[in-house]
Amino acid sequence: MLILGILMTILSVLLILLFTAYRRQVKAACRHMVFLQKNRTNLRLRSGLPFPELSDLADQVNIVLEQSEKLKREAAAGERDLKEAITNISHDIRTPLTSLDGYFQLLSQAESEEERQQYISVIQSRIESLKDMLEELFTYTKLQNEAYTLQTKPVDFYSCVCNALLAFYNDFQEKGITPETDFCEGKIEMIGNTEAIRRIVQNILKNVLEHGSSKVFLRMKQEEGEVHFSCSNKLKHPEKVEIAQVFDRFYKADPARTHSSAGLGLAIAKGLAKRMNGRMEAELDGEWFRLHVYFPLVKR
């Protein structure tokens, strides 16, 4: 009985010590959590006792801490992006508005009908540029909404591209550019949206007119169940192009941002292609800048 009493006493003491250590560990964890709430640190919880449940708890808390830090970083990055976007939008909209204000003053001071008509023509052109810029911003905003969907149906990709290209005939003539084409002929059926395809081609061609020189090659072919449309143009200043950023929002190869575009054209084109199960890629080969668009063909 004496031995049993001694063993019970020892066991009781051990249990009391373990319980005390357990409580101390929990209190230490609470203090650590309070510290983490008030301070930015990479410290994480540790379990100093051989209790699996404490180790599991520490691991789960550390996972939550990692996720919280990730959300904070993403929120900070999002805030920086928003500030940059607002700055870019303000700059891009203010430029044509300032120009309009100047031409309206010139119009009010014009003495001849010829001068007035000249200023009216310039004002109309600036207003159209501003409308195009606002339409870009509106479309880009819609594409950022994951719930936004395009109404799609079987369409003839070849016809869509040709119609979009013809609409730019006068623009190419004014620039002295004659695009060379290599298109596979005939109906090329895909599941898409006619207006979205037109917009993709339109934005690609606008990019050519803004940054390209006199050499432009357009190709279209069918390969491995896809239609592949590409545009290659020789750049005036290839050294200014950051190929990894060409699809980024508000990216412009011209750092002075002197053009009337908001720098969203290729970002919108890529977003529209993605919504139609397609993809868009870019490459820079010396002086040549190439854009590639791929869409799956309708299976027969």
Judging by beta carbons within 10 Å of its beta carbon (0-12, 13-18, 19+), is residue 158 exposed, middle or buried? buried
Amino acid identity at 185: E
Mean pLDDT of 222-239: 86
The answer on pLDDT for 209 being more than 50 is yes
8 Å CB contact between 220 and 183: yes
Lowest mean pLDDT among 107-121, 164-178, 251-265: 251-265
Residues 6+ positions from 293 with CB-CB distance below 8 Å: 200, 204, 228, 229, 230, 269, 273, 278, 279, 280
Note the pLDDT of residue 47.
Answer: 65
In tens, the pLDDT along 248-266 reads 766 665 554 444 555 678 8
Q: How far apart are CA 110 and CA 103, in angstroms?
A: 10
Q: How far apart are CA 261 and CA 69, in angstroms?
A: 37
What mean pLDDT, rounded, does the chain reach? 80
**pLDDT confidence bin for 132, thresholds 50/70/90:** confident
Count CB-CB contacts under 10 A for residue 236: 12
Note the pLDDT of residue 258.
Answer: 46
The answer on pLDDT for 214 being more than 60 is yes
8 Å CB contact between 262 and 206: no
Mean pLDDT of 119-147: 80
Q: Which of 138-142, 143-147, 259-263, 292-296 has the highest mean pLDDT?
A: 292-296
Extents of the domains making up the chain: 1-34, 74-143, 153-296
Q: How far apart are CA 29 and CA 33, in angstroms?
A: 6
CATH class of the structural domain 153-296: alpha beta
State percent of the chain over pLDDT 90: 16
The answer on pLDDT for 300 being more than 50 is yes
8 Å CB contact between 68 and 42: no
Domain range 74-143, CATH architecture: Orthogonal Bundle (1.10)
User: Three-class SS of residue 75?
Assistant: helix
Mean pLDDT of 154-170: 89
